Amino acid sequence: MGLLVFLTWKRVMRIFFLSVIFLFLLAGCKPEKDDYIALYEEGEELLTGPLGVNSTSSNAFGFEIPGLSFREKAKFATGNSLFNQSWVSSPASTTARDGLGPTFNARACAGCHFKDGRGKPLKNGKLSSGFLMRISKNGVDEHGGPVAYPNYGKQIQDRGNRGIPFEARIIATYDTIRGAYPDGNQFELIKPIYSFSEEQFGPLGTDVLMSPRIGQQTIGLGLISALPDDQILQYEDEFDKNGDGISGRPNYVWNPELNKMDLGKYGWKANAPSLKVQIADAFNGDMGLTTTIFNENNCPDLQKECVESPNGGEPEVTDTQLDKVLFYQTSLAVPNRRNFKTESVLRGKMLFNALNCKGCHAINQKTGGFPFNKYLENITIKPYSDFLLHDMGDDLADNRPDFMATGREWRTQPLWGIGLISTVNEHTNFLHDGRARSIEEAILWHGGEAEKSKQEFMKLSVKERKQLIDFVNSL
């Protein structure tokens, strides 16, 4: 009897809903389409056009761009092997992979860019894992760049080969900064304070200029190389002529491969002019490996054991090896966006634009000719970066100039892939030294030219703040 009543009730409800729909149609009406869907722009999820990949796995940053030939895939794989392979000190039976050090920060490229991703901030009691400290003293060198600090150079190497002393240990302590949103919700930020211990070659005094850095994800780097200068300079507005409070400007740096000043594109301060120079500089500064571009190790005269140590060849990284790593890096694909049609993400995009976050995190640049990797030519990209320098305020200042970049300026970082850092690297540490433990904290650290946008973010409701963060996480 109960079953019969249930079936009769179900039939009545079905007739009722059908009648409602019929009345709407009879009146020339139809249920409204969700209004947020109109915010979606066709193809916006394709951050690199046809070159993106669909992956949300822990290896999302490790795929090659589509279209490579069999031979090119083999070259990509060899470059991948060189990127991940640990180098050893000389002399060694493995002559193709020796020459590490004499002092260094990591044994492999992947030591700072695990799974082609982002490094971790410094934790006391542990050696660096994708973290390093640039140093210098006041003044500029013959090319307008930072001046090496006596007895140490321009970067602290916290490791050394057997029998060769490391340079120093880097110490980080943290102050807690507490704040509140206008709606009363509270937040905490942690501010790192850096110092040195166990200096092996004299004290690093109060005159040392420090700039902490963590390794960035390496996806999409080839597309940045393929950008013509005018695609970056189109956003230049050093004197804020349009009055939006944003005054991005380029960094011009010394290109040791071409022996001339060039537009900076890479690094936290746009202090590297090309991907090839950036890779060669990392081989040299981070692992103590020479190339034809940087053919001397960081061994100041006082570091006798370092100076007298054997090398692994001249150069230790051959041009062929460098070329394969470069091809691998230019061919790493950017994952396509996720959840790009959900209501929260689309409304978050609207807020991102309304708060003028796009004033620095720009999109729709187009690559030009790029003979080294023809697949990257004539591609419209959405990196969410203008690749220019911006004053980010006192709280983020390192107070260490780098060519034309002041101690308060940083290059806008591309946001593509940011939502997958937690999956690939199992952390959510952002900004130049990893101090921000979430996207929300990264936003709250913004100052200077981004102060107005940050204040507007803080005025949003809890729901709106989540929507904006959901949008960033979709990138």
Residue 209: beta bridge partners? 136
* pLDDT for the residue numbered 35: 85
Alpha carbon distance 270, 281 (integer Å)? 13
Backbone angles phi, psi at 458, to 5 degrees: -65, -25
pLDDT band at 7 (very low <50, low <70, confident <90, very high): very low
- Paired with 179 in beta bridges are 187
Which pLDDT band holds residue 5 (cuts at 50, 70, 90)? very low
Report which of 183, 144, 151 is spatially closest to residue 165, judged by C-alpha positions.
151
Residue 92's pLDDT band, with cuts at 50, 70 and 90, is confident
Structure tokens at 365: 């640049």
151 contacts: CB under 8 Å, gap ≥ 6: 201, 202, 300, 302, 303
What would the 3-class secondary structure string for 422-455 be? Answer: HHHHCCCCECCCCCECCHHHHHHHCCHHHHHHHH
Rounded CA separation 299/18 (Å): 82
How far, in Å, are 123, 354, 386, 397, 429 from residue 393 at the CA level? 25, 22, 18, 6, 20
pLDDT greater at residue 295 or residue 92: 295
Q: How far apart are CA 76 and CA 82, in angstroms?
A: 10
3, pLDDT greater than 50: no
Residue 355 has pLDDT above 90, yes or no: yes
pLDDT band at 240 (very low <50, low <70, confident <90, very high): very high
Per-residue model confidence (pLDDT) at position 93: 81
Cα–Cα dist 262/259, whole Å: 9
pLDDT band at 124 (very low <50, low <70, confident <90, very high): confident
Neighbours of 336 (CB within 10 A): 17
Percent of the chain's residues with pLDDT above 90: 89
In the block, residue with structure tokens 């900064």: 177
412 φ, ψ to 5°?
A: -60, 125
> Could you tell me if residue 220 is left (phi over 0), alpha (psi between -120 and 50 degrees) or otherwise beta?
left
Q: What does the alpha-carbon distance between residue 172 and residue 194 come to, in Å, rounded to a whole number? A: 5
- pLDDT interval class at 16 (50, 70, 90): very low
Q: Give residue 262's pLDDT.
A: 98
165 in Cβ contact with 200 (< 8 Å): yes
Two structure tokens written together for 219: 């996806």
Residue 319 pLDDT > 90, yes or no?
yes
Would you call 159 helix, strand, or coil by DSSP? strand
Q: Look at the block and give the residue holding tokens 């419209």.
A: 380
The letter for the amino acid at 84 is: N
Give the pLDDT band (50/70/90) at residue 2: very low
Residue 433's pLDDT band, with cuts at 50, 70 and 90, is very high
Q: What confidence tier does 94 reach under pLDDT thresholds 50, 70, 90?
A: confident
Where do the domains of the chain lie?
39-473
Give kind and range of the element (H or E) at residue 211.
strand 209-214
Whole-number pLDDT of residue 12: 43
What pTM, to 2 d.p., does this model score?
A: 0.91
Helix (H) / strand (E) containing 457: helix 451-459
Which tokens go with 182?
Answer: 């206008």
Contact 65, 311 (CB under 8 A): no
Residue 17 has pLDDT above 60, yes or no: no
pLDDT tens figures, 183-196: 999 999 999 999 99
Taking only the tens place, the pLDDT of each residue in 378-424 is: 999 999 999 999 999 999 999 999 999 999 999 999 999 999 999 99
Q: How far apart are CA 387 and CA 226, in angstroms?
A: 13
Beta strands in 348-445 (DSSP E): 365-366, 380-381, 389-391, 409-411
pLDDT of residue 22: 38
pLDDT at 33: 53
Averaged pLDDT for residues 24-53: 77
Binning pLDDT at 50, 70 and 90, where does residue 27 land?
very low
Considering the chain, what is the average pLDDT of its residues? 93
In what helix (H) or strand (E) does residue 172 lie, and over which residues does it extend?
strand 169-180
Lowest-confidence segment of 1-5, 218-222, 301-305, 340-344 by average pLDDT:
1-5
Choose among 279, 333, 275: nearest CA to 68.
Answer: 333
What are the contacts of 264-267 at 24+ separation with CB within 8 A?
A: 264/403, 264/405, 264/411, 265/224, 265/225, 265/227, 265/232, 265/387, 266/221, 266/224, 267/411
How high is the pLDDT of residue 6?
36
The confidence score (pLDDT) of residue 21 equals: 38
Q: Is the pLDDT of residue 278 over 80?
A: yes
Mean pLDDT over 20-39 rounds to 55
CA distance 464 to 460: 6
244-273 tens-digit pLDDT: 999 999 999 999 999 999 999 999 999 999
What is the band of 24 on the pLDDT scale with cuts at 50, 70, 90?
A: very low
Provide the pLDDT confidence category of residue 125 given band limits of 50, 70 and 90. Answer: low
Give the pLDDT band (50/70/90) at residue 123: confident
Write down the pLDDT at residue 31: 37
Interhelix angle 319-330/70-84, rounded to 10 degrees, is 110
